[in-house]
Chain A
Amino acid sequence: MPDPRPELPDVPEVSAEAIRAAHGAPDAHDLADLAEPGDALGRFADRLGELLGQIAVMGLAHPDPDLAPAAVELIEPASALGLGAAAEGLAELARALGAIRAAAPPGRSAPAALTRAAWDATQRLVAWRRLFRRALALQRVEGLLARDALIARGARPPPPRPATASARIRPVGLALRDDRLTLLGIDVDRGGPAQIRDRLSDHDPDDPLGGAVISRLFQARISLRAVLDGVIVFEDHPARRARGGPLFEPDFRARPRLLGAAGPLSVMPDPVADPAALERLRRPVRADVRVERGLDAPTLWLGDGEVEVEVERTPIFELNLIKRLIEASGAPLALILGPAPGAPRVLSALDAGRRLYVSHDPRVFTVPPAALYHRLGAAADRMGRPIAARFVRTVAGLFGGADDRALGALAEQWRGPAPGIGRLYRGVLAGRLLSIVGDPARDAAVEAAVDDALLVGALPAGQVRPAALTALVGEPTAGRLPGRAVFRALWLLFTGDPGGVRARRGALLTLFAARYAEMSGAPEPHDVAARALLLAELSREAAEGDADAGLEPLSPEEVLAPAREYLEAHLAGLRPAPGRPAGPLPDFDGLWALAEAHRLLHPDAEPRGLPALGLHRPTLAAAAAGALLDLDRRPLRAADGLLCAAAAGLEGWLIG
């Protein structure tokens, strides 16, 4: 809104001067006087307001005979108060009103020039008064405040504030449930226990230490790993007492500071030898445990004895125990356990002088790449199936840190055809992993095998000789072409030349009608993936439109929708949902098939494939770790597991 000052340049100065002239440099008592309603400046402003109000209501066409004298009457007090601009304005207004009255007796209108002059004089005074009122009101309010303070005589006690504490806390343990984080620590100066509670957001619940999180306590984006490695300094922070020490929580006004990485902590709880002591923990204790393989999951044994230790197991803790078994060191693990409603909570672990947050950090106990390369390579050497062994060596080379020369040599081995859908599939997959481009001999073999598979796949069981079926699949097979082989043939077709797909539409339709038109029960993952791919392709044909019939072609999204919905319905059962745990994962080959179908059906989405399936990552990583644990017996499964984990972005959880 416009500032009236340029219109009336002297007004604010005059107003302020007038106020100062009336009150000098006011002290609190003077200001209090100014607050009185009988103040002369206020009275003047009110009288001027009444005059201008009358003009606004009655208009200037035929001004009341009392208006001009009323304006003249105000000139003197204005001058007396030092309000020169007001006095001049009033004089101008009085002259203008008088001129109108002289020129416009009743029944006649005054010339426009006269009424315009009066109108402008009125508006200038209105603007002046707006400024003056504002200045006066500010001064008056200051006076009112001073008067209030005089009456109140002195300060009121500030409202009570919560009890505060200062401490430097070194975290030794961590518990995280949903977004609620509890850090257990030791007061660096007093040596006693301390607790810190926080609320996290924007964090990865499966890997909270893997990146930055938003902390309500620190009121900032922080690295939880840096917090756990540092010292947290609280200064006059609201605190309560809990479990024999201070409890700090996020506060509206205060926040702690974080000091950089602290050295190793000398204070450590004594180990417990009596398992009964773990049943009713009141403070953190240390339990030295052995990790051994169990029937379903790794088990923990206290010390060297035969007493199994029950602790609260998070999915990440389960994963870490499996990885600990892969290490096969046999060394005991010192667990720092804290009280929890059920079994003791694993706050942290000590291993070779390092503090590990085994319940929430999926990156502990990783397999070194060199060890992985060596063990997978050795297992491959013992395999009887050369193509499968070569695939295991390829995965070992890729994730085990093999140099370019070794990978180049592997790539050379994959060139050329190999008989059977399974071997061709492994060859093409390895070729993609090793970035092999162009292999005409193999491409021709792939085309022939795909044609055979599409033909044979549509035939009912018993119509193909087992020998022919075995030759097509690449391993002993009887009955009907397995879903695994059908998917692999489709994958080879769909990831190859798109023209090849169009040329085989008839065969695809036959395959769909004979095998996938109606599926009941719980289909295998390969069949689900194959049916989704066929649905997508056949929908495409149906959606091309017909100009003669006036049918518009469907958009790519509409074309792919039925296949995506079908695949999605099957994937939903694998994902965790509120109140429902994730379903059991299929074998890695089946999982890979579902992921590849998802990737092919979402060509423009990001992420797509395995990371987009929404699987419970700790479960997937644990399955891959379990496969690595068994790699001597089933090396191909270990390689497939590693491939799936890496595709899901979990390589760092297993290898490092």
Chain B
Amino acid sequence: MSRLPHDLDGLPKRTVDALGRMADAFDAIDDWLHRMGLQGLQRTSRASVDALGALAQTAHNAGLVSIERELNRLGTLVERALNRDPLFEMQAWQATVNRIWLVNRRARARFEAGELPDDMRDLIGVARRSYAPADGPLDLQALGADGWVSDTGFVGVTVHYMAADGIRYEAVSARPTMHFGADPVRLLRWPAHDALEQTLGELSHGAWRFEGARVSADRRLSIHKALTVHAAPYVGGRAYDGLRAADWRAALDRLRDAAPVGDRGAAWVYVEPASVGPVETDHTRGRARAVAVDGVGARLFVEVALRRESNLLIDNLERMYGPHAGDTGAAPPCDGLFGRLDLAEDGLRLAPITGVWARPLKLARRRRPAHHTVHLSLESLEGARRA
């Protein structure tokens, strides 16, 4: 173990072993990246996918969680490249490789400076979030919710909440697609946890008091057995104040503040467009888009990738904004959109997850009461009307 730069005296054997695995993993990752750099994307094959899987396992065993995740992502990209999938993006490939290269170098540098794995969690990540009890009950109002299907075989719903102190929280319910199918809408109808009487759908609207809450460092709520949930005061549009961008210039500033670096930088925003044009579907680029205009006439693209799980979202956008806005099943356009903002090649791009109506909206297919919010990837606006 003399190759380790650390002072090993007094360190538990488990830590010493972990350091050894980490040193080996740095070399293995570096070697693989180098080999991949030599052969180039054009010479990748099924064997590369297997090699990536093995390397991800090596990273996992070494506790290099963020690298492991990037390697898994790279594996998906390689699969897409091999399958000539139109969703393959060369820039995403380059950026993912670059992130692995950067993290591996940075982590190795800190390792060689004598840092232990626990000191490097900010860089190497943690396999499972650790949750700590919140100081007291949390009064949270649901801002929005989105359904998703991951490349790693999970279907889930993420509910976004806002606390009175302006801190945004998330609660995630995820299930393996192998057993639960790939339709996140179904998750809404199930209790958020066996011990809770509220369904995830109920918890995704209105305001709730979470007692016995446990929260991770990145503000994710744990939905666990000891959690109890009661109604809390609904603060209406004030919940969005901290995320509100009055116009697209302000939205851009939010983006600058939220993610100054990195090509995946995105910001959560709430916007109230002056108008939104009809939805246009572009199969070549695999996206559906509508142009939202702010009060001074600037444009922002409300954009959704064409994926199976986005069908309902796109239908909902079309019901609000057209081209089928006047048809049967059309819905009143929302007053505001909550979603994730990032940069497209030709402007600002908002991936909307929830529409917000100042006058509550009654959904046709649900018996539940009217709400101010409709989660666009999870709830149908067909036949929706103002309450």
Q: List residues of chain A with CB under 8 Å of any chain B CB.
A: 1-7, 12, 49, 52-53, 55-61, 112, 115-116, 118-119, 122-123, 126-127, 130-131, 133-134, 137-138, 141-142, 144-146, 148-149, 151-156, 158-159, 201-202, 214-216, 218-221, 250-253, 255
Q: Do A5 and B261 have beta carbons less than 8 Å apart?
A: yes
Q: Do B231 and A252 have beta carbons less than 8 Å apart?
A: no
| Chain B residues, CB < 8 A from A126 | 94-95, 97-98
Q: Do A159 and B95 have beta carbons less than 8 Å apart?
A: no
What is the CA–CA distance of A49 and B299 in the complex, to the nearest angstrom?
Answer: 27
What is the CA–CA distance of A166 and B203 in the complex, to the nearest angstrom?
Answer: 34
Q: Which of A4, A59, A151, A221 contacts B233 (CB 8 A)?
A: A221
Q: Do B34 and A220 have beta carbons less than 8 Å apart?
A: no
Q: Does B105 contact A (CB under 8 A)?
A: yes
Residue interface mask B293-307, A partner, CB < 8 A = 1: 101111100000000
Q: Do B237 and A252 have beta carbons less than 8 Å apart?
A: yes
Q: Do B297 and A133 have beta carbons less than 8 Å apart?
A: no
Q: Do B274 and A159 have beta carbons less than 8 Å apart?
A: yes
Sample (25) of A-B pairs whose CB atoms are under 8 Å apart: A2-B103, A12-B260, A49-B91, A52-B94, A55-B40, A56-B41, A56-B94, A56-B97, A58-B42, A59-B39, A59-B41, A60-B38, A115-B38, A118-B37, A119-B34, A130-B95, A134-B261, A144-B299, A145-B299, A151-B297, A155-B295, A201-B231, A220-B233, A220-B235, A253-B236
Q: Which of B34, B40, B263 contacts A134 (CB 8 A)?
A: B263
Q: Which of A4, A142, A201 contacts B261 (CB 8 A)?
A: A4
Residue of A4, A56, A156 with most partner-chain B CB within 10 A: A56
Residue interface mask B204-240, A partner, CB < 8 A = 1: 0000000000000000000000000011111111100
Q: Does B275 contact A (CB under 8 A)?
A: yes
Q: Do A156 and B249 have beta carbons less than 8 Å apart?
A: no
What is the CA–CA distance of A4 and B90 in the complex, to the nearest angstrom?
Answer: 19
| A216/B40 contact (C-beta < 8 A), A2-B123, A148-B299, A155-B296 known | no
Residue of A nearest to B91 (CB): A49
| Chain A residues, CB < 8 A from B238 | 219, 253
Q: Does B287 contact A (CB under 8 A)?
A: no
| Chain B residues, CB < 8 A from A156 | 274-275, 293, 295-297
Q: Do B262 and A159 have beta carbons less than 8 Å apart?
A: no
Q: Does B325 contact A (CB under 8 A)?
A: no
Q: Do A59 and B94 have beta carbons less than 8 Å apart?
A: no
Q: Does B248 contact A (CB under 8 A)?
A: yes
Residue of B nearest to A143 (CB): B347
| Chain A residues, CB < 8 A from B232 | 214, 221
Given contacts A115-B37, A155-B295, A156-B297, 7 further A-B contacts (CB under 8 A): A56-B40, A58-B42, A123-B102, A134-B265, A145-B299, A219-B235, A220-B233
Q: Do B41 and A145 have beta carbons less than 8 Å apart?
A: no
Residue interface mask B254-289, A partner, CB < 8 A = 1: 011000111111000000101100000000000000
| Chain B residues, CB < 8 A from A219 | 233-236, 238
Nearest chain B CB to A312 CB, angstrom units: 25
| Chain A residues, CB < 8 A from B382 | none
Residue of A nearest to B342 (CB): A137
What is the CA–CA distance of A51 and B264 in the complex, to the nearest angstrom?
Answer: 22
Q: Do B102 and A7 have beta carbons less than 8 Å apart?
A: yes
Q: Which of B320-343 contact A (CB under 8 A)?
A: 335, 343
Q: Which of A123, A141, A151, A215 contacts B252 (CB 8 A)?
A: A141
| Chain A residues, CB < 8 A from B359 | 252
| Chain A residues, CB < 8 A from B90 | 53, 56-57
Q: Do A202 and B231 have beta carbons less than 8 Å apart?
A: yes
Q: Do A3 and B261 have beta carbons less than 8 Å apart?
A: yes
Nearest chain B CB to A61 CB, angstrom units: 4
Q: Does B174 contact A (CB under 8 A)?
A: no
Q: Do B231 and A214 have beta carbons less than 8 Å apart?
A: yes
Nearest chain B CB to A307 CB, angstrom units: 42
Q: Do B297 and A148 have beta carbons less than 8 Å apart?
A: yes
| A59/B99 contact (C-beta < 8 A), A220-B233, A253-B236 known | no
Q: Do B261 and A252 have beta carbons less than 8 Å apart?
A: no
Q: Do B296 and A149 have beta carbons less than 8 Å apart?
A: yes
Q: Does B368 contact A (CB under 8 A)?
A: no
Q: Do B43 and A59 have beta carbons less than 8 Å apart?
A: yes
What is the CA–CA distance of A126 and B90 in the complex, to the nearest angstrom?
Answer: 12
Q: Does B33 contact A (CB under 8 A)?
A: yes
| Chain B residues, CB < 8 A from A61 | 38-40
Nearest chain B CB to A468 CB, angstrom units: 55
Nearest chain A CB to B334 CB, angstrom units: 11
What is the CA–CA distance of A500 and B236 in the complex, to the nearest angstrom?
Answer: 62
What is the CA–CA distance of A115 and B346 in the complex, to the nearest angstrom?
Answer: 36
| Chain B residues, CB < 8 A from A218 | 233
Q: Do A57 and B106 have beta carbons less than 8 Å apart?
A: no
Q: Which of A59, A133, A148, A151 contacts B37 (CB 8 A)?
A: A59
Nearest chain B CB to A316 CB, angstrom units: 23
Nearest chain A CB to B216 CB, angstrom units: 17
Q: Does B131 contact A (CB under 8 A)?
A: no
Q: Which 10 A-B pairs have the closest CB atoms?
A: A152-B297, A59-B40, A148-B298, A145-B298, A119-B37, A61-B38, A252-B358, A253-B237, A252-B236, A126-B98
Q: Does B372 contact A (CB under 8 A)?
A: yes
What is the CA–CA distance of A49 and B98 in the complex, to the nearest angstrom?
Answer: 13
Residue of B nearest to A49 (CB): B91
Q: Which of A3, A7, A154 contacts B296 (CB 8 A)?
A: A154
Q: Does B93 contact A (CB under 8 A)?
A: yes
| A138/B99 contact (C-beta < 8 A), A6-B106, A119-B38, A219-B234 known | no
Q: Do A58 and B262 have beta carbons less than 8 Å apart?
A: no
Q: Which of B38-62 contact A (CB under 8 A)?
A: 38-43
What is the CA–CA distance of A156 and B294 in the complex, to the nearest angstrom?
Answer: 8
| A1/B233 contact (C-beta < 8 A), A142-B249, A152-B296 known | no
Nearest chain A CB to B243 CB, angstrom units: 15
Q: Does B101 contact A (CB under 8 A)?
A: yes
Nearest chain A CB to B282 CB, angstrom units: 18
| Chain A residues, CB < 8 A from B18 | none
Q: Does B348 contact A (CB under 8 A)?
A: yes
Nearest chain B CB to A236 CB, angstrom units: 14
